[in-house]
């Protein structure tokens, strides 16, 4: 235990250069005074000596290597191994909890990992204590057991660093990457450890990709993200074949989904002249989007805790960045104004009864509605297609001559969407709700229409048709979209929030 350790987290520190007064921990980011770290090491050695004396006879410690191998083996078996085994089982149980959790996040997200784990400093100090009993493990079997316990304890300590960094909001991707690199190394030589080793190598590459991306180096980020995705795929294949690591599979699948989303983000940034410029705006977008995510949970009782919801959203962010770089990548409806708003396009099939007595009959109609994808930053997010009925005579309803309960205008309008690019100066708002969340708002609208028509209108299957963008004019603190005509939406009271979320 000659190397210096971080006074904040307990991890090994890089060797300071000659005359260097400060050294920064590569795993928690804390800047240590070399003098303070040296003092900490002296104190830790005293604590380890005290701990050893509590479990091993004092004469054995003082005699050191002079004690014969048989005596040391007996002491290890009777006094040390039971305690180490208990600690090892507890640590493995906590590690199992962590590795069954998806561990891919962007620094912009408000993440809290609800896992039971010690502080990194406690975990690293425990590893140092366990290392001190290695001289008593004189039999190969005992030495192998101690090495296994030490490796698991260090792995646990680096996991603890990761969890505490995330939960404290210090989601520096370089620090996260460094911790996963050490975790992956802990599986070197571990029998049947291929699945976790591949997974944590993958996570190392993914966080390295995020670090590169945030620095504007999309070329290197792309290399790392592809390596990370490949490692995660191989980790999943290996985990499926190993009962010990099968519980990791759902977490790996979510990590793969988020990795694909981050890859899309890198692809979009790669198309820009200077990736650091949209990155600054992405930070404010995710800030607004995170507030929206929490509001969806609180106001609308939606389960929006899963960060996998950002998969579709980041795909649209990529499309926006590509469109602003000259590629026809977004589906535009109408004229490309200075402000573009995102809408989920939803196809509805409904039936209604028309006529009375001998003229009574049922009809089935397919139409579409648009849902503004900036909820909860919207006052009226849905184009109410049942607001207006097709023109007809007063007796049409009695004689069964009604052709529909909606005009079909929004369906015709949405079907005119076309892949488009936009000017670099266009303000585009990315979507903040997913397709599943849009479907829930669609269902709410369907129930509302059914009630207000006294069950005259009944609905069949609704189907999402993707995202389209419509150009909006700013009228005071609201927007007006000429193409929507009488089917306007409203963002009154939310316009400023939307402006901060714009790309």
455/444 Cα distance (integer angstroms): 15
* Average pLDDT over the chain, rounded to an integer: 89
Other CB atoms closer than 10 Å to residue 12's CB: what's the count?
Answer: 17
CA Rg value for the chain:
30
Chain CA centroid to CA 36, Å: 37
**DSSP annotation of 380:** B
Q: By three-state DSSP, how is residue 384 classified?
A: coil
Domain boundaries, the chain: 1-38, 66-270, 284-500
Each residue of 88-100: pLDDT tens digit?
899 989 988 898 9
Each residue of 308-323: pLDDT tens digit?
889 889 999 999 999 9
CB 330 within 8 A of CB 503: no
**DSSP annotation of 125:** H
Tokens matching residue 53: 């004396």
| Angle between helix 140-167 and 120-131 (nearest 10) | 170
Q: By three-state DSSP, how is residue 20 classified?
A: coil
Residue 46, CB half-sphere, CA atoms under 13 Å: how many?
6
489/481 Cα distance (integer angstroms): 8
Helix H or strand E segment including 445? helix 435-452
Tokens matching residue 345: 């396009």
The predicted pLDDT at position 288 comes to: 93
- Strands 457-475 and 330-333 come out as parallel
Query: Has residue 357 got a pLDDT over 50?
Result: no
153/332 Cα distance (integer angstroms): 55
Distances in Å between the Cα of 304 and the Cα atoms of 163, 257, 279, 296 are: 21, 16, 24, 7
pLDDT band at 303; cut points 50, 70, 90: confident
Each residue of 384-420: pLDDT tens digit?
998 877 765 544 544 455 677 889 999 999 999 999 9
| Angle between helix 310-324 and 276-299 (nearest 10) | 150
Tokens matching residue 99: 């590795």
**DSSP annotation of 76:** I
Length of the chain: 503
Each residue of 101-158: pLDDT tens digit?
999 999 999 999 988 899 999 999 999 999 988 887 878 888 888 888 888 999 999 9
Region of 337 (left: φ > 0; alpha: ψ -120 to 50; beta: rest) is: beta
Identify which of 268, 248, 201 has the alpha carbon closest to the alpha carbon of residue 229. Answer: 201
27/162 Cα distance (integer angstroms): 8
Other CB atoms closer than 10 Å to residue 220's CB: what's the count?
Answer: 14
34/14 Cα distance (integer angstroms): 11
Is the peptide bond preceding residue 376 cis, with omega within 30 degrees of 0? Answer: yes
Phi, psi of 434 (to 5 degrees): -85, 175
CB 196 within 8 A of CB 232: no
174/181 Cα distance (integer angstroms): 11
Residue 471, CB half-sphere, CA atoms under 13 Å: how many?
14
Each residue of 157-216: pLDDT tens digit?
999 999 999 999 989 999 999 999 999 998 887 778 899 999 999 999 999 999 999 999
CB 395 within 8 A of CB 356: no
Each residue of 210-267: pLDDT tens digit?
999 999 999 999 999 999 999 999 999 999 999 989 999 999 999 999 999 999 999 9
pTM: 0.89
CB 157 within 8 A of CB 11: yes
| Residue scoring higher pLDDT (59 or 235) | 235
User: HEC states along 330-377?
Assistant: EEEECCCCCEEEEEEEEEEEEEEEECCHHHCEEEEEEEEEEEECCCCC
Each residue of 338-356: pLDDT tens digit?
999 999 999 999 887 765 5
* pLDDT above 90 as % of the chain: 65
Residues with Cβ within 8 Å of 276's Cβ and at least 6 positions away in sequence, in order, are 215, 216
Residue with tokens 């795909």: 315
| CA-based end-to-end distance of the chain | 51
């Amino acid at each position: 235990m000659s190397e210096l350790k971080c006074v904040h987290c307990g991890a090994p520190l890089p060797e300071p250069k000659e005359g260097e007064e400060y050294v920064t921990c590569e795993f928690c980011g804390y800047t240590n005074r070399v003098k303070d770290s040296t003092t900490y090491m002296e104190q830790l050695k005293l604590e380890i000596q005290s701990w050893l004396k509590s479990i091993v006879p004092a004469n054995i410690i003082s005699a050191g290597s002079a004690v014969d191998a048989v005596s040391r083996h007996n002491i290890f078996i009777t006094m040390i191994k039971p305690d180490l085994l208990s600690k090892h089982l507890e640590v493995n149980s906590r590690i199992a909890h962590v590795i069954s959790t998806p561990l891919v996040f962007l620094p912009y997200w408000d993440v809290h990992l609800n896992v039971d784990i010690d502080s990194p400093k406690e975990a690293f100090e425990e590893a140092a204590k366990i290392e001190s009993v290695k001289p008593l493990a004189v039999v190969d079997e005992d030495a192998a057991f101690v090495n296994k316990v030490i490796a698991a304890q260090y792995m646990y300590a680096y996991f603890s660093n990761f969890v505490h960094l995330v939960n404290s909001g210090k989601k520096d991707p370089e620090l996260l990457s460094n911790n996963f690199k050490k975790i992956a190394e802990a599986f070197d030589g571990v029998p049947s450890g291929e699945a976790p080793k591949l997974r944590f190598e993958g996570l190392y590459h993914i966080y390295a990709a995020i670090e590169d991306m945030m620095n504007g180096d999309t070329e290197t980020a792309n290399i790392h993200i592809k390596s990370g995705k490949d490692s995660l795929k191989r980790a999943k294949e290996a985990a499926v074949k190993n009962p010990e690591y099968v519980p990791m599979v759902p977490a790996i699948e979510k990590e793969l989904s988020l990795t694909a989303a981050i890859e899309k983000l890198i692809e979009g940034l790669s198309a820009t002249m200077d990736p650091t410029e949209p990155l600054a705006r992405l930070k404010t977008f995710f800030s607004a989007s995170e507030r929206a995510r929490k509001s969806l949970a609180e106001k609308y009782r939606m389960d929006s805790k899963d960060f996998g919801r950002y998969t579709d959203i980041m795909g649209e962010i990529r499309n926006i960045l590509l469109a602003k770089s000259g590629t026809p990548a977004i589906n535009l409806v109408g004229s490309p104004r200075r402000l573009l708003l995102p809408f989920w396009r939803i196809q509805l099939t409904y039936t209604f009864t028309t006529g009375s007595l001998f003229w009574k009959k049922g009809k089935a109609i397919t139409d579409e509605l648009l849902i503004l994808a900036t909820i909860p930053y919207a006052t009226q997010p849905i184009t109410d297609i049942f607001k207006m009925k097709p023109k007809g005579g007063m007796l049409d309803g009695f004689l069964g001559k009604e052709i529909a309960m909606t005009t079909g205008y929004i369906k015709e309008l949405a079907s005119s969407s076309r892949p488009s690019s936009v000017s670099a100066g266009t303000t585009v708002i990315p979507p903040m709700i997913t397709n599943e969340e849009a479907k829930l708002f669609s269902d709410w609208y369907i129930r509302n229409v059914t009630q207000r028509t006294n069950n005259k209108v009944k609905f069949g299957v609704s189907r999402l048709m993707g995202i389209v963008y419509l150009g909006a004019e700013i009228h005071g603190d609201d927007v007006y979209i000429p193409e929507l005509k009488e089917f306007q939406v409203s963002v009154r009271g939310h316009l400023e929030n939307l402006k901060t979320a714009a790309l």
